[in-house]
């Protein structure tokens, strides 16, 4: 299996192990938006819950000296010093250095980072960080001295907001941006790969960096529970029984709620395999580029034992023995390894800052406030209302002082749509669509508003007239061109065809087959696509989609639906 991905090439030489003496205390950033009395967070090593301080939502005053810059696909709005802001961007760039480009999804617009200087604003966008006790083998991740961070994704929009003070120091690789970019690829990466790299105890979640060096440290491996991890450090503890590799690589994971024990084993095995494949000592040594090539193939087709043997130079049975031997070592101590040139990554592109315009402040800060209001609305409506008010003020200020900018109107239209004000949302979304300034969610919202218009006066089961397609499909097809692709766009297209009195041709439904290719495990999309093809007599396509859906789910009810569709009529 040939590879042309120049990543981790230094790992062709077997890595050296270093024994942990004592880990210094580190910080893990707490989730955002938790008010007093909300569920507590829990460190896996402590076992005891940690109650978060109150989360007080306050708006930064208008007129602060925001600065703006763009670098390497990142758009920055900052109140922090140029030195700290460039350090932040460097950390994001270092993270990208560790993952091959085919595993980082393409984006129609830059990722956005908002950096708050707490000495100017007084309040952070998220709760204070929660400290892990000194000596914990978990490395954690984040900004030392940071007072919280919110990272959130919404189709083609990815925004992170972080608060810093004068004690802030960057300590490692930032996994959050990587995780969101990784998840945005289409077809999606294999599920075992996503869990092994970015799950709760995945490779990148457990990674720390030596400042000013090309050296990284991976925390000791956590195996399912503290008790089981501790037991594996004893020689008399039997090896755990792993899932069969053919099933592990090619079957959907167990249901986390319905089969918690099975899922726990699958999760632990995913982390173990990723670490072994990338870092474990072997003879002959395994080149990491070959691992990534194996992972790339796994998201497009079923992988076989022959595929595995070509990369890892052993069959499944031999690999299992070696992986279990590695597990015994990995639970005992962290591992240090080098990535040549990692420290110099930031020097390739430097962020140049300038005073931000009113439009940039409105577009970036207002969109963050809108997303946070939307995120909190169901569980914390009072907090959501405060963010909604702040977002509306920010956006309207931008329109008043910066002109009738269509990108700002796109954000304001989404804010009103999410808040349940369709009449206020419609003119902004229409204007943004006309100016080609709307993002995926704005285009979906506009399509739904237009669909609701077309249903006025129709009975609940009434079919839509042909002109409804001309009204609703254009924003959906515009959204289809946005990156990363969104399964919701294809579901909305399926929905409009299901409601239409027009009989679709195979050409019309080709877009749904495209969606099934981009999202091969999306069971709802596969079901609606298969059902539409069957209803209109395209039996071969319906059967192929149903077979794909039957393979993609472990839910008995869902599988029975696909099986019934596959059965002769």
> What tens digit of pLDDT does each residue of 517-545 get?
999 989 999 999 999 999 999 999 999 99
What distance in Å separates the CA atoms of residue 6 and residue 230, rounded to the nearest whole number?
37
What distance in Å separates the CA atoms of residue 461 and residue 450, rounded to the nearest whole number?
18
The confidence score (pLDDT) of residue 170 equals 54
The confidence score (pLDDT) of residue 31 equals 29
Distance of CA 135 to the CA centre of its chain: 30
- The maximal CA–CA distance of the chain, rounded, in angstroms, is 74
Query: What does DSSP say about strands 67-71 and 49-50: parallel, antiparallel, or unpaired?
Result: unpaired
Map residue 131 onto helix, strand or coil: strand
The mean per-residue pLDDT over the stretch 6-19 comes to 26
Q: What is the pTM of this model?
A: 0.80
Distance of CA 527 to the CA centre of its chain: 24
353, 81 contact by CB (below 8 A):
no
CA distance readout (Å), 130 to 52, 53, 145, 161, 408: 7, 9, 11, 17, 35
Q: Which of 531, 455, 541, 442 is nearest to 494 (CA)?
A: 531
The confidence score (pLDDT) of residue 149 equals 65
Q: Which of 388, 394, 486, 514 is nearest to 153 (CA)?
A: 486
Task: Among 289-298, 350-359, 494-503, name the one with the lowest average pLDDT.
Answer: 289-298
545: CB partners within 8 A, 6+ apart = 513, 516, 526, 529, 530, 533
Q: Is the pLDDT of residue 467 over 50?
A: yes
Task: Among 273-287, 481-495, 516-530, name the one with the lowest average pLDDT.
Answer: 273-287
Query: What does DSSP say about strands 111-117 and 157-164: parallel, antiparallel, or unpaired?
Result: parallel
Element (H, E) at 71: strand 67-71
Q: Is the pLDDT of residue 428 over 80?
A: yes
What distance in Å separates the CA atoms of residue 199 and residue 218, rounded to the nearest whole number?
14
The mean per-residue pLDDT over the stretch 127-146 comes to 38
The confidence score (pLDDT) of residue 27 equals 20
Distance of CA 450 to the CA centre of its chain: 30
Q: Which of 228, 171, 217, 231 is nearest to 29 (CA)?
A: 171
Map residue 314 onto helix, strand or coil: coil
The predicted-structure confidence for 365-387, as pLDDT tens digits, reads as follows 999 999 988 888 887 888 888 88
The mean per-residue pLDDT over the stretch 428-443 comes to 97
The predicted-structure confidence for 216-264, as pLDDT tens digits, reads as follows 888 899 999 999 999 999 999 999 999 999 999 998 899 888 899 999 9
Question: Which of residues 119 and 80 earns the better pLDDT score?
Answer: 80
The confidence score (pLDDT) of residue 22 equals 18
Please name every residue paired with 337 in a beta bridge, in sequence order, or none if there are none. 216
37: CB partners within 8 A, 6+ apart = none
Helices (H), 334-483: 358-376, 381-402, 406-418, 422-434, 440-455, 467-480
């Amino acid at each position: 299996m040939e590879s042309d991905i120049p990543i981790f090439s230094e790992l062709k030489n077997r890595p050296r192990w270093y024994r942990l003496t004592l880990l210094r205390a580190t910080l893990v950033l707490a989730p955002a938006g938790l008010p007093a009395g909300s569920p507590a967070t829990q460190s896996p090593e402590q076992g005891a819950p940690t109650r978060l301080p109150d989360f007080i939502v306050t708006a930064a005053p208008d007129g602060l000296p925001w600065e703006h810059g763009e670098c390497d696909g990142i758009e920055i709005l900052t109140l922090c010093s140029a030195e700290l802001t460039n350090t932040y961007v460097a950390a994001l760039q270092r993270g990208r250095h560790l993952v091959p480009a085919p595993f980082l999804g393409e984006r129609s617009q830059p990722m956005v980072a908002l950096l708050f200087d707490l000495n100017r604003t007084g309040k952070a966008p998220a709760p204070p960080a929660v400290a892990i006790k000194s000596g914990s083998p978990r490395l954690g991740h984040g900004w030392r001295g940071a007072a919280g961070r919110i990272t959130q994704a919404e189709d083609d929009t990815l925004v992170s907001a972080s608060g810093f003070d004068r004690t802030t120091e960057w300590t490692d690789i930032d996994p959050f941006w990587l995780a969101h970019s990784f998840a945005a690829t289409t077809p999606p990466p294999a599920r075992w790969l996503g869990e092994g790299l970015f799950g709760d105890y995945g490779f990148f979640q457990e990674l720390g960096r030596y400042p000013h060096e090309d050296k990284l440290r991976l925390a000791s491996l956590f195996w399912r529970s503290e008790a089981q991890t501790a037991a594996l450090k004893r020689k008399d503890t039997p090896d755990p029984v792993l899932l069969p590799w053919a099933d592990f690589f090619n079957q959907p994971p167990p249901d986390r709620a319905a089969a918690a024990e099975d899922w726990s084993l699958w999760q632990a095995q995913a982390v173990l395999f990723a670490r072994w494949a990338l870092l474990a000592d072997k003879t002959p040594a395994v080149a990491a580029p070959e691992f990534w090539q194996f992972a790339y193939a796994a998201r497009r087709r079923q992988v076989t034992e022959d595929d595995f043997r070509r990369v890892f130079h052993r069959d499944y049975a031999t690999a299992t023995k070696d992986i279990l031997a590695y597990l015994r070592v990995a639970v005992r101590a962290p591992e240090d390894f080098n990535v040549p040139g990692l420290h110099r990554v930031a020097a390739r592109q430097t962020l140049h800052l300038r005073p931000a315009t009113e439009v940039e402040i409105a577009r970036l800060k207002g969109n963050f406030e809108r997303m946070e209001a939307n995120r909190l609305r169901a569980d914390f409506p009072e907090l959501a209302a405060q963010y909604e008010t702040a977002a509306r003020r920010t956006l309207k200020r931008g329109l008043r002082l910066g002109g009738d900018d269509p990108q700002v109107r796109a954000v304001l239209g989404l804010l009103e749509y999410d808040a349940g004000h369709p009449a206020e949302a419609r003119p902004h979304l229409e204007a943004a669509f006309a100016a080609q300034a709307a993002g995926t969610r704005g285009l979906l919202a506009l399509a739904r508003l237009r669909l609701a218009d077309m249903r006025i006066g129709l009975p609940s089961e009434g079919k839509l007239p042909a002109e409804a397609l001309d009204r609703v499909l254009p924003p959906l097809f515009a959204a289809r061109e946005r990156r990363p692709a969104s399964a919701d766009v294809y579901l909305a297209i399926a929905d409009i065809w299901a409601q239409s009195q027009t009989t679709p041709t195979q050409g019309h439904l080709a877009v749904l087959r495209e969606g099934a290719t981009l999202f091969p495990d999306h069971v709802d999309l596969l079901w609606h696509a298969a059902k539409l093809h069957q209803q209109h007599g395209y039996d071969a396509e319906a059967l192929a989609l149903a077979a794909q859906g039957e393979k993609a789910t472990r839910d008995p009810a869902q599988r029975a639906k696909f099986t019934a569709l596959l059965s002769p009529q």
